[in-house]
Structure 1
Amino acid sequence: MQENIIPEGTRDLLGDECSVREELIKNVKSVFTKWGYDEVITPTVEYYNTFHYKTQSLKEEEMYKFFDSKGRILVLRPDMTVPIARVVATKLKDHKTPIRLRYESNVYRVNESLGGKRNEYTDCGVELIGLDSNSSDLEILITALEVLKVANVEEYKLEIGDINFFNSAINTLGVKEEEKIRLAELIEKKSLKALEDFLEQLDIEEDKKQFFKRLPWLFGGKSILEECKSLTFNEGMNASLKYLEDSYNKLERLGFGGFITLDLGMVPRLDYYTGIIFRGYVQGVGNTVLSGGRYDNLIKVFGRDEKAIGFSINIDCLIQLVKHESVSHENKFAITFNKDNETLAMTKALEIIENGGMVKMFPSEEVNKVIVAGKGEKNGN
């Protein structure tokens, strides 16, 4: 094996990419701070049971696993919401709600080979704990939109759904749990032919089969809600549509209507989300760059029953899209010197840095004095 090859799903960042990453993180964290979120840092390494036995929200094969000196299974954290739920239920168990936490962390996920997704990436996110949907969903949605805005991309959209729309539809039909999970997977992936074939195997009424065949297509602007209303068959589904409509109207009044779409066929992680769910997309990136939702049942598995909602943005997805000018230095200097005037060169460098400038030093035996060049760098370095 060649020692200069890095593992699949990882990457090196160099030069401008590091500057762009730093600027992105700073801008995102600035939004979180302005909305009153406090930073939390959790270990890179967690116990496997924290993610597997308590939540079942991630598949075993998606986690990097290894052993400690006592034979216990450890993992590189594949998610940040679960560790924060653990912290809220333990270290913050006596804190009054609402609790607002933010983070910036690398997470590690074993994705499908050649699937185009990173196995290591930087997540910046927030979690709002202790408030119900009527008190916190709008705040989180606006915060997500503000984050997409400061990411300095050309065009972005926030796609919103509600997991209860699907759950209210399927829970009245008496299907098995494994059938429910399989149906959700096919709808989520919009695997239309496989979905049609699977529905034919289910012992449900024909009109219900037609509804689930239509569900992957129920996305678009506010007008899609009218079509959805004609397809519902219980009060739970109607309640979900009413909530989405109210949320859309509030965002529209606040000036965000042009950045919102709705997707009733969004059904990820049935055992995790409990209400509104959303994803952020930007022009030029095929994958989701931001995702989140309400998860009212997660924290209580760690011993504290609190409602919660949050989201995270994948910084690495955006690096190639952000213009490098946004992180350029106005006061950039190159100082060329020889060993005889090194002290003088360093004095000038410190003066420039103290005044907010940036310096690169170039030792050279070809000069006999200190040469300071402003807003440019020698030899293009």
Structure 2
Amino acid sequence: MNQADRWLLPDGIEELLPPEAKQLETMRRTLLDTFANWGYELVVPPQLEFLESLLTGVGSDLNLQTFKVTDQLTGRLMGVSADITPQVARMDAHSWAKDGINRLSYCGSVLHTRAKSLLSSRAPMLVGAELFGESGPCADVEILSLLVESMQRAGLEKIHLDIGHVGIYKALVASAKLDAEAEARIFEALNNKAVTEYRLLVEQSVVGEQLQQAFISLLELNGSTDVIEKAKALSGVADVDASLQNLAQICSILQTRFAGVEIFIDLAELRGFDYHTGMVFAAYVAGHGQAVAQGGRYDDTGAVFGRARAATGFSADIKQWVRIVNNEASTEDGIFAPVDADWSVVSELRAQGKRVISGLSETDTPAAFGCTSVLVFKNDQWIVETL
């Protein structure tokens, strides 16, 4: 092993040095304080769990993203958390079960076996909020409003929301009564935006011209919130009208609250189709092609833990936000205390919230530690002087 191997980190794993680490911690505190101001209680799920509980009720994608290890005490397989949301759903269903509304927030590191994209981290620090116990659009509006406010407080600008509703596609599939193979092929084509293949599969598998047209129209139902009005062509299909009304109400309130936030509707967006049950969304900022936050409604996930609950929420990688905001580390006024400074004076300054750096030898200087003030002994007392 050569010397370079000793400091080489795995692909997608990074270390944060003082300037960036400070920015991350400042942002973390800002976000958790924002969540608390909205009534969300902080939880800290374990980083390691038995696979049976960690992966119960989640899709195969999360299973593939999870690092597995063997418990040396029991011989059972355990997994390192790759997504905190299912763990929080388990808490709501069992560990912190409440009647009625339950608002929970979190911030913690997870590990992924593979990066989700070329520039993504395999060790993101996820921050998020989950609202349990309310199935109406007001809960979705609250989650989206909390996300936008959190992004604004973190310093993210020119916010763009991409909103869809998987319930509409699910209603069409239920009406078409497709077999499993046809459903899978149509879903894959739509998810990949393979327009020609999708049209052909719909014509081959869906019975009835009106229903075929409803499927095909999904390809064109994207754009401003006016798309919701155009989507009334889908009306008549069970549950579609209710989903469209739900979406319209959510967007109307958001436009009133956040006039500067651009809203884009995409009814062919099937992100998390196996997991989500209603509205889905992703947040973007100008100049960055990747989503900076994702979320949506995932009702009844807690059923596998014995307690089915309405649920909606969002999560984001706070490391990604720090890289986007990229603020210069704010300089703090540091006070240099010489090695012979009175300890009680130094302690009192620190108790007042001052940043005091003690010299460790007589040759240490304020400049060496970036201090802008120094503690000096004058007129029989220790005082702070600005350099």
**Shorter-chain TM band:** 0.7 to 0.9
| Residues 127 and 310 in structure 1, CA contact (< 8 A), matched pair in contact too | yes
Paired residue type of 2:124: Y
| Residues 153 and 283 in structure 1, CA contact (< 8 A), matched pair in contact too | no
1:303 to 291, 302, 306: 306
Q: In the alignment, is residue 90 of structure 1 matched against residue 94 of structure 2? A: yes
Partner of 2:156: 153
1:143 to 143, 146, 151: 146
Partner of 1:356: 353
- Using the TM superposition, give the Cα deviation of residue 172 of structure 1 relative to its aligned residue in structure 2, in angstroms: 1.3
Instruction: Return 191-200 or 216-225, whichever deviates more.
Output: 191-200
Partner of 1:269: 272
Structure 2 matches for 1:190-201, cutoff 5 A?
Answer: 190-192=193-195, 195=198, 199=202
2:226 to 223, 228, 234: 223
- Using the TM superposition, give the Cα deviation of residue 64 of structure 1 relative to its aligned residue in structure 2, in angstroms: 0.7
Gaps of 5+ in 1: none
Instruction: Return 108-117 or 66-75, whichever deviates more.
Output: 108-117
Partner of 1:109: 112
Q: Any idea what SS the aligned residue of 1:159 has? A: strand
Distance 2:188 2:122 in 1: 22
Distance 2:38 2:365 in 1: 54
Distance 1:362 1:192 in 2: 68
Q: Any idea what SS the aligned residue of 1:27 has? A: helix
| Residues 282 and 289 in structure 1, CA contact (< 8 A), matched pair in contact too | yes
2:190 to 153, 172, 187: 187
Instruction: Return 71-80 or 84-93, whichever deviates more.
Output: 84-93
Q: In the alignment, is residue 344 of structure 1 matched against residue 341 of structure 2? A: yes
| Residues 62 and 82 in structure 2, CA contact (< 8 A), matched pair in contact too | no
Distance 1:5 1:156, change over 3 A: same
Q: In the alignment, is residue 251 of structure 1 matched against residue 254 of structure 2? A: yes
Distance 1:212 1:97 in 2: 37
Instruction: Return 350-359 or 14-23, whichever deviates more.
Output: 350-359
Distance 2:297 2:113 in 1: 24
Q: Any idea what SS the aligned residue of 2:340 has? A: helix
1:288 to 282, 287, 291: 291
- Using the TM superposition, give the Cα deviation of residue 229 of structure 1 relative to its aligned residue in structure 2, in angstroms: 2.1
- Using the TM superposition, give the Cα deviation of residue 347 of structure 1 relative to its aligned residue in structure 2, in angstroms: 5.9
Distance 2:201 2:288 in 1: 31
Distance 2:340 2:165 in 1: 64
- Using the TM superposition, give the Cα deviation of residue 282 of structure 1 relative to its aligned residue in structure 2, in angstroms: 1.6
| Residues 165 and 240 in structure 1, CA contact (< 8 A), matched pair in contact too | yes
| Residues 50 and 77 in structure 2, CA contact (< 8 A), matched pair in contact too | yes
Cα offsets for 1:62-85 (capped at 9, x unmatched)? 211111122211111111111112
Q: In the alignment, is residue 21 of structure 1 matched against residue 56 of structure 2? A: no
Paired residue type of 2:340: T
Paired residue type of 1:83: Q
Distance 1:214 1:112 in 2: 34
Cα offsets for 1:275-320 (capped at 9, x unmatched)? 1111111223321111111111201110112211111121111112
Paired residue type of 2:230: E
Distance 1:8 1:369 in 2: 39
Paired residue type of 1:66: V
- Using the TM superposition, give the Cα deviation of residue 227 of structure 1 relative to its aligned residue in structure 2, in angstroms: 2.5
Q: In the alignment, is residue 328 of structure 1 matched against residue 330 of structure 2? A: yes
Paired residue type of 1:172: S
Distance 1:155 1:125 in 2: 20
- Using the TM superposition, give the Cα deviation of residue 114 of structure 1 relative to its aligned residue in structure 2, in angstroms: 6.6
Paired residue type of 1:122: M
- Using the TM superposition, give the Cα deviation of residue 179 of structure 1 relative to its aligned residue in structure 2, in angstroms: 3.7
Cα offsets for 1:77-135 (capped at 9, x unmatched)? 11111111222222223x32211111111122223587332211011111111112244
| Residues 59 and 274 in structure 2, CA contact (< 8 A), matched pair in contact too | yes
Partner of 1:73: 77
- Using the TM superposition, give the Cα deviation of residue 247 of structure 1 relative to its aligned residue in structure 2, in angstroms: 1.4
Normalised by the size of structure 1, how large is the TM-score?
A: 0.85
| Residues 145 and 158 in structure 1, CA contact (< 8 A), matched pair in contact too | no
Distance 2:55 2:106 in 1: 22
Distance 2:41 2:283 in 1: 23
Cα offsets for 1:235-276 (capped at 9, x unmatched)? 422222222112111222234463322221211222211111
Q: Any idea what SS the aligned residue of 2:353 has? A: coil
Q: Any idea what SS the aligned residue of 1:120 has? A: coil
Distance 2:108 2:181 in 1: 34
| Residues 66 and 113 in structure 2, CA contact (< 8 A), matched pair in contact too | yes
Cα offsets for 1:13-55 (capped at 9, x unmatched)? 1121111111211111122101101111111001112243433
Cα offsets for 1:121-151 (capped at 9, x unmatched)? 0111111111122442221121111112112
- Using the TM superposition, give the Cα deviation of residue 199 of structure 1 relative to its aligned residue in structure 2, in angstroms: 4.7
Q: Any idea what SS the aligned residue of 1:311 has? A: strand
- Over the matched positions of the two proteins, sequence identity in percent amounts to 27
| Residues 278 and 298 in structure 2, CA contact (< 8 A), matched pair in contact too | yes
Give the root-mean-square deviation of aligned CA atoms.
3.1
Distance 1:322 1:99 in 2: 31
Would you say how many aligned residue pairs link Structure 1 and Structure 2?
370
